[in-house]
Chains A and B, each alone.
Chain A
Amino acid sequence: MLFAVLFTIAIIIGLLRREQVKAVGLLSALASLTLIVGAFNGINVTYSIFGLEFTFMTDTLSRFFCILVGISGFAVSIYTTEYMEPRHLNLAAYPAFILSMALIVISRDFLGFIIFWELMTIASYILIVTYYDSPETKRASLIYFVAMHAFNTAPLLLAIGAIYSNFGTLSFSALQGAYVPTWVIWAFLIGFMSKAGIFPIHFWLPEAHPVAPSNVSALLSGTMLKMAIYGMIRVIELFPGSEAIARTMVVLAVLTIAVGAIMALVQKDIKRLMAYSSVDNMGYLFLALGAYIMLDGTLKKIAFLALLLHAFNHLVFKNLLFMLSGNVLHATGRKDLELRGLGKKMPFTAAMMVVGILSVSAVPPLNGFISKWLIYQATFLSKDPLLVGGGVVSLFASALTLAAYIKIYRIFGGEPNVEAHEAAPLMLAGESILAFLCVAAGIFPGVIAGLLDVEVGNPWLISLGGATFNALLFAGVLLSIILAVAIALPTKKNLDTPWTTGEPAEKFEQRPEHMFAPVSRWGEKLGIIGRKIEKKLSAFERWYSSRDMGYLDEMVFMPVIRLMAGTSYVIRELSKNLNALLAVTFLVLFTIILTMAVLVGVI
C-alpha cells in the first residue's frame, strides 16, 4: 500500500501548501507508478479502524482496473505539473481523487466501496468547481452534485442497505453467489448507469466535464466513468439473477450510443463534443456488458474481453484527447471550433490529435479498432436481433464519431487566427505516453488481453474462437506499403497558396456547423426535444408551486416546507462562501455515514 501513503502525503502537501503544484503532481505520478507495480505484485491487506474492517485485495479484475487507474494517474499527473492552477482545495482534492478510485477497485467489501465512492464524488466535485466564479460552472456543478446524489448515491445506498439487512455482512467473499431481490440489482443498475452517463441520466456529463480544468476532465471522462463499469461487473459477478436487467441494459446502451454520437456531431465546443463522445463510448461498454450477460460460451469470453479492452482503450485515448484540448485551451484561451491554423505552432499537439482521433474512430491499426472489432464479433455473431441491432447502431455511431472529431481536426488547418504556442514539455510528455500506448495497444493487443489472463494466442494477435485479427501484420503491411511508395515516389516541398478560382476570396472555407447538414438536423432535433422536456419539467414545477394549498394540506406540509426553506436559506448563505459550503457538505456526508453506521448497528 505504498501508493496510498504517497497519495496521502500528496494530499497533506496540497492542504498545507496550496501552491505546490509540481510537488503534488510528481508525487501523484510516483504514487500511480507504485500502484501499477503494487497491482502486479498483488495486494492483500486488512485494516481495522474504529472497529470497522477494511480489506484490500487484488484479483484479476481489480488488478486490471488498478493498472488502468495507475496508467491514467501517471500520465495525467505528469501533465498536471505544468497545467494545473491551484485554487482553494483542488490541489488536495486531486490526489484524493485518484487515491479514492484506486481504493474503490481494491476494496473487498461494500462499506469501503461506498465510502471511497462518495470520497471520489466529493473530490471530483471540488475539482469541477475550480473555476467557481463563472456562471456555467455554478450551474454545471449544481447539476452534477444533485444528479450524482439523487441518481447515483441514493440507489447505491438503498441497495447496499438492503443487502446488509438481508445478509448481515458487506464483504464480497461472504456475499458471493447470494440471492438478492431483483430490485436490488435494478437499484445497482440505476446507480451505476447514472454514474456512467447512460441515457436518460446522461445530461450531467456534458455539463460537468467541460467546465472542469482539462486534466480533471481527462480523469473524469477517462477514469471515473470506468469505476461505474467496475462496480457493475462486480455486482454481476457476485449476485446471480442479472439476466433480468440485461435486455434493459442493452436497450438503454444502444440509445446512449445513438444519442451520444448524434449530439456530439452538432457541438461547437471541443470539450462538450468530447463529453458527448464519452457518453457514446459508455454506451459501447454497457452494450458489451449486456452482451456478456446474455451470451454463452466463446461469445461470452469475447464480450468480456471486448468490455475490458474497450475500457482500457477508451481510458487511454479519452485522457489523451482531453489533455490535448487542455493544450489548446492553455495556449489560446479558447475551446471552440472557430480556431484555425494551430497546426503551424503546435505540431506535436496536432500529430497526437490525429492519433487520438483515429483511435476514437476505431480506425486500424490503432487501439480503438481492436475493442470495437471485438464488440462487433460479440454482437453480430450472437444471432440475437437486439444485439445485432446494437452492432449496427455501433457502426453508425462509429462513423458519426469520425465525422464529429474531424470537426476538431479542422482547428489545426488553414491560416492562424489566434496567437498560439506549443505546450510545455511535461504536458507533451504526459500525452505522448498515452499516444504511444494507443499505437502499442493497437499493434500488440494480446499484451493487454494477457493482463486479464485471457488467452489470445500471440501478443500481436487477437484470436478467439475462430475470429482472428492479426494486428501486427496489418500494421506492418500498411506501414511497409506507405514507406515503399513514399521512397519510390517522394514529394518535394513546392509551396504555393490555395486556388480561389481567380478572384481573391476571404472566409474561403466551410464552417464546421454547416457540415453534414442532413445528419446534423437529427442532432438538432434531439437537442430541441431535450430542451422541451426540460421546459415541461420546470413547467410542472412552476405549476405545482403556484397552487394554493388548502388549509388541511397547509397544516400537514407547512412545517416540512418551512424546514426545507430554512435549510435552503442556510445553504444559500453558505454557498456565498465556497469553503463553508464544502465544509458543510463534508459534515452532512459524515453525518449520513455516521447515521448509517448507527443504523447498521456497528456503533
Chain B
Amino acid sequence: MIREFEEKFGSTLEKKVIAKNKVLYTLMVRREDFPNIINYILSRPNTRLFTMVGMDERNTEEAFSVTYWFLDWKDNEVIGIRLYVPEDEPYFPSVGAFHKGAIWFEREVQDLLGLKAEGLPDPRRLVLPDDWPEGVYPLREDFQYCHSPAGTKSYPYREPPEDSTVHPMGPYHVALDEPAHFRLFVKGEEIVDVDYRGFYSHRGIEKLARGRLNYNQIVFIAERICGICGFAHSVAYAQAVEEAAGIEVPDRARYIRTILLEIERLHSHLLWLGVAAHLTGFDTAFMRSWEIREQVMELAERLTGNRKTYGLVLVGGVRRDLLDYRKSLILETLKNLKREFDELVDMLVSTKSFVKRCEGIGVLPKEKAREWDTAGPLARASGIDYDTRKGLPYAAYDELSFDVPVYKDGDVLARALVRIDEVKESISLLEQAIDTIPGGPVMAEFNEIPSWKEGISAVEAPRGENTHYVMTGEVNRIYRWRVKAPTYNNLQAVPDMLRGYTIADAPLIVASIDPCYSCTERVQVVDVKSGKTKVISLGGGIGTCP
C-alpha cells in the first residue's frame, strides 16, 4: 500500500518513517488534496481508519496537528496523514462527511482541542460534560489540568421522529454494566431510531499522562483504563513507546506478554457469555460460565499475583518472570477448562429458547461494519476478516499458528459463536506458547528514551483492536498519548444495529458488542450539584492546584 501511495501522492507530501512498515506523511501545502488522499486510502480493499490523533504542537510547530492513521491489514502496513491547523483558523476538512467511522474522532478533537471539522454531520459535544463552558479546551497546553470551570447544564438531544416516543436506556439500567445513555425512539415495542450519549466515565487520562508521569508510571495507568481488558492497554502502550524509542523487547518477555494476553482474552469472553445469558433470563448458563471463569482468574492470580490487573508490563519487557513449575499449573487448568467449556457450549446451543433470542437479532451487514470501522468479534461476525494479531503482528504472534474465526451472518448468535471459537483458539495458543517459550532475559537494556519520537502500536484486545499512539517528550515524560479502544468504533455502529428490533432485544444487542465504556471514555469528574471537582493526584508532579 505504501509503495502505491508514494507513487501517487508522494511528491506533495513530507515523509517521515516511524518504523519498518509505518510511514507518516505530512500535508504541508495543497490542503484541498486532503479529501482525495483519504478517499484513495479508504477505497482500497483492506484498509481501515486506525486512529486519529489531535495534538497541540504550538510549542514546536506553531500550529495544532491532526493526524489520521490508516492500517492495511493484509499488507501489514500503517500510513499516517498529518494536517497542520493554525490557531487563528482552527478548521480542517472533515473526513466524517464521507466516512462515518471518523465522526467520533472529529467530535472529540473539537471538544478537547477546539479544532472544528468542516462538514461534520453531527457537531454536538461528545466528551465534555453538559455544563462545561464553551471555549475551554482541556487538551491544549495552556490549560491547567486541575481547572474545572462552571457552566450551565444542557444537552441538545435529537427529537424523536414522528409518532414515536422516547424510551431511555441508561445511564442507570440493569442491563448496562457502566453508565451509557441509549435514547431509544420507539413505537410501542419497536425501536425506530437511537441517539447515543456516552462518556460518563471520562476520566481525563490523556491529560493526566501529559507531562506529569514518567513512562513506567503511565504503564500502570494504562492498565487501569479498563476493568476487563486492561492488560491489552498496557501492552499496546509499552509497544508504542518501544517503537518510538527503538527498543527491542527480548523474546521471553514477548512470549510472557502473549501468554497473559490470551489469559485475559479467556476470562473476558467467559464473562461475556455469562452476561449475554443473564440478559436473556438464562441464569443457569450465567452462573456456570462464571464458575468456569473462576479457574482462569485463579490461574492469573497464581501467575501474576492479581486476578485482573496483572501489573506485569514495563517499557522494554515484563517485570517478573514466569517460573517453570507454573507451566504444569497452566496446562492442567487448560485441560479442565477445555472440557468444561465444551459442556457449557453444548448446553447453550441446545437451549432453544436462548438460541431463538439470539438468532437474527441486531444484524450488522458487512458494508456498514466497514463504514464504521468496527473491530474485533463484532467485525468478524459480519464477515470482515481482520485480527490485529495477524494484521499487524506483535508480541509472539507471528511465531504461533492459529485460526481467525469469521462468520457471515452478523447477528448476535454469530458474535457469540466467534467468541466461543476464539476461546478454543486461545486455549490452543496458550498450549503452543507454553511449549515453545524461549529462555533469556525478560527486560531489555536501553539508555534514555529520545524525545520527540512517535510510535504507534495496536493490540488485539478481547473486544477488538486497541490502538495507542505516543509522542515522546522531554525530561523522560510523554508529550502526547492517544488511546483508542475498540468499543470507540463499535459503539458508533450500535444505532444501526438497534433499528427495527424491539425493546426486549436492545440490552442483548448492546451487550453483544461487549461494550467496555471505561476503555472508550477518558473528562474530569465534576460533581454538578456541589460544583466541586475531584482531582486524581498520583504522587509528585508538575503544578499544584488551588
Does A associate with B in a complex? Answer: yes
Given that A510-B188, A514-B188, A517-B188 are known contacts, is A501 also in contact with B165, CB under 8 Å in the complex? no
B166 interfacial by beta-carbon distance below 8 Å: yes
The proximity string for B residues 177-199 relative to A, scoring 1 for CB distances below 8 Å and 0 otherwise, is 00101010011111000000100
The answer for the CA separation of A479 and B165 in the assembled complex, in Å, is 38
Given that A507-B160, A511-B188 are known contacts, is A501 also in contact with B166, CB under 8 Å in the complex? no
A47 interfacial by beta-carbon distance below 8 Å: no
Q: In this complex, what residue of A is CB-closest to B163?
A: A511
Taking a contact as CB atoms under 8 Å apart, the answer to whether B168 and A508 are in contact is: yes
The proximity string for A residues 491-532 relative to B, scoring 1 for CB distances below 8 Å and 0 otherwise, is 000000000111101111111001101000000000000000
Residues of A within 8 A of B163 (CB): 511
Taking a contact as CB atoms under 8 Å apart, the answer to whether B188 and A503 are in contact is: no
Taking a contact as CB atoms under 8 Å apart, the answer to whether A501 and B172 are in contact is: yes
Taking a contact as CB atoms under 8 Å apart, the answer to whether A510 and B165 are in contact is: yes
Residues of A within 8 A of B165 (CB): 507-511
Expressed in whole angstroms, the minimum distance between the Cβ of B102 and any Cβ of chain A is 26
B424 interfacial by beta-carbon distance below 8 Å: no
Q: In this complex, what residue of B is CB-closest to A514?
A: B188
The proximity string for B residues 150-177 relative to A, scoring 1 for CB distances below 8 Å and 0 otherwise, is 0000000000100111111111110000
The answer for the CA separation of A501 and B179 in the assembled complex, in Å, is 10
Expressed in whole angstroms, the minimum distance between the Cβ of A407 and any Cβ of chain B is 12
The answer for the CA separation of A527 and B95 in the assembled complex, in Å, is 50
Partner of A505, one of B168, B172, B173: B168
Residues of A within 8 A of B168 (CB): 500-503, 505, 508
Residues of B within 8 A of A501 (CB): 168-173
- Interface hub of A501, A505, A510, A517 (most chain B Cβ within 10 A): A501
Residues of B within 8 A of A510 (CB): 165, 186, 188
Residues of B within 8 A of A503 (CB): 168, 170-171, 181, 183, 197
Taking a contact as CB atoms under 8 Å apart, the answer to whether B171 and A502 are in contact is: yes
Residues of A within 8 A of B188 (CB): 510-511, 514-515, 517
Q: In this complex, what residue of B is CB-closest to A517?
A: B188
Expressed in whole angstroms, the minimum distance between the Cβ of A211 and any Cβ of chain B is 26
The answer for the CA separation of A500 and B166 in the assembled complex, in Å, is 10
Chain B contacts with A in 295-324, Cβ cutoff 8 A? none
Residues of B within 8 A of A506 (CB): 166
The answer for the CA separation of A507 and B183 in the assembled complex, in Å, is 12
Q: In this complex, what residue of A is CB-closest to B187?
A: A514
The answer for the CA separation of A502 and B171 in the assembled complex, in Å, is 6
Chain B contacts with A in 178-224, Cβ cutoff 8 A? 179, 181, 183, 186-190, 197
Residues of A within 8 A of B164 (CB): 511
Expressed in whole angstroms, the minimum distance between the Cβ of B529 and any Cβ of chain A is 14
Residues of A within 8 A of B189 (CB): 514, 517
Taking a contact as CB atoms under 8 Å apart, the answer to whether B166 and A502 are in contact is: no
The answer for the CA separation of A238 and B259 in the assembled complex, in Å, is 96
Residues of B within 8 A of A511 (CB): 163-165, 187-188
Q: In this complex, what residue of A is CB-closest to B170?
A: A501
Expressed in whole angstroms, the minimum distance between the Cβ of B381 and any Cβ of chain A is 29
Residues of A within 8 A of B170 (CB): 501-503
Expressed in whole angstroms, the minimum distance between the Cβ of B161 and any Cβ of chain A is 11
Expressed in whole angstroms, the minimum distance between the Cβ of A417 and any Cβ of chain B is 14
The answer for the CA separation of A515 and B188 in the assembled complex, in Å, is 6
Q: In this complex, what residue of B is CB-closest to A516?
A: B188
Expressed in whole angstroms, the minimum distance between the Cβ of A69 and any Cβ of chain B is 43
Q: In this complex, what residue of B is CB-closest to A499?
A: B172
The answer for the CA separation of A502 and B189 in the assembled complex, in Å, is 21
The answer for the CA separation of A506 and B155 in the assembled complex, in Å, is 13
Taking a contact as CB atoms under 8 Å apart, the answer to whether B187 and A502 are in contact is: no
The answer for the CA separation of A503 and B160 in the assembled complex, in Å, is 15
Expressed in whole angstroms, the minimum distance between the Cβ of B517 and any Cβ of chain A is 14
Expressed in whole angstroms, the minimum distance between the Cβ of B176 and any Cβ of chain A is 9
Expressed in whole angstroms, the minimum distance between the Cβ of A93 and any Cβ of chain B is 41
Taking a contact as CB atoms under 8 Å apart, the answer to whether B187 and A507 are in contact is: no
Residues of A within 8 A of B197 (CB): 503
Taking a contact as CB atoms under 8 Å apart, the answer to whether A517 and B169 are in contact is: no
The answer for the CA separation of A513 and B165 in the assembled complex, in Å, is 12
Expressed in whole angstroms, the minimum distance between the Cβ of A509 and any Cβ of chain B is 6
Chain B contacts with A in 415-446, Cβ cutoff 8 A? none
The answer for the CA separation of A510 and B169 in the assembled complex, in Å, is 15
Expressed in whole angstroms, the minimum distance between the Cβ of B183 and any Cβ of chain A is 7
Residues of B within 8 A of A502 (CB): 168, 170-172, 179, 181
Q: In this complex, what residue of A is CB-closest to B181?
A: A503
- Interface hub of A503, A510, A514, A515 (most chain B Cβ within 10 A): A503
Residues of B within 8 A of A500 (CB): 168
Residues of A within 8 A of B171 (CB): 501-503
The answer for the CA separation of A508 and B163 in the assembled complex, in Å, is 13
Q: In this complex, what residue of A is CB-closest to B185?
A: A507
The answer for the CA separation of A509 and B164 in the assembled complex, in Å, is 9
The answer for the CA separation of A510 and B190 in the assembled complex, in Å, is 11
Partner of A507, one of B166, B172, B179: B166
The answer for the CA separation of A502 and B174 in the assembled complex, in Å, is 12
Q: In this complex, what residue of B is CB-closest to A512?
A: B188
The answer for the CA separation of A437 and B106 in the assembled complex, in Å, is 69
Q: In this complex, what residue of A is CB-closest to B165?
A: A507
The answer for the CA separation of A509 and B166 in the assembled complex, in Å, is 7
Taking a contact as CB atoms under 8 Å apart, the answer to whether B183 and A517 are in contact is: no
Residues of B within 8 A of A515 (CB): 188
Residues of A within 8 A of B173 (CB): 501
Residues of B within 8 A of A514 (CB): 186-190
Expressed in whole angstroms, the minimum distance between the Cβ of B504 and any Cβ of chain A is 12
Residues of A within 8 A of B166 (CB): 505-508
The answer for the CA separation of A313 and B167 in the assembled complex, in Å, is 40
Expressed in whole angstroms, the minimum distance between the Cβ of B83 and any Cβ of chain A is 35
The answer for the CA separation of A500 and B181 in the assembled complex, in Å, is 11
Expressed in whole angstroms, the minimum distance between the Cβ of B313 and any Cβ of chain A is 36
The answer for the CA separation of A517 and B163 in the assembled complex, in Å, is 15
The answer for the CA separation of A508 and B181 in the assembled complex, in Å, is 15
The answer for the CA separation of A505 and B160 in the assembled complex, in Å, is 10
The answer for the CA separation of A510 and B188 in the assembled complex, in Å, is 6
The answer for the CA separation of A511 and B166 in the assembled complex, in Å, is 10
Given contacts A505-B168, A517-B189, 9 further A-B contacts (CB under 8 A): A501-B172, A502-B179, A505-B183, A508-B165, A508-B166, A508-B167, A510-B188, A511-B187, A514-B186
Q: List 21 A-B contacts (CB under 8 A).
A: A500-B168, A501-B169, A501-B170, A501-B172, A502-B171, A502-B179, A503-B168, A503-B170, A505-B168, A507-B166, A508-B165, A510-B165, A510-B188, A511-B163, A514-B186, A514-B187, A514-B188, A514-B190, A515-B188, A517-B188, A517-B190
Q: Which residues of A contact B (CB under 8 A)?
A: 500-503, 505-511, 514-515, 517
Cβ-closest 5 pairs across A and B: A514-B188, A502-B171, A507-B165, A502-B172, A505-B166
Q: Which residues of B contact A (CB under 8 A)?
A: 160, 163-173, 179, 181, 183, 186-190, 197
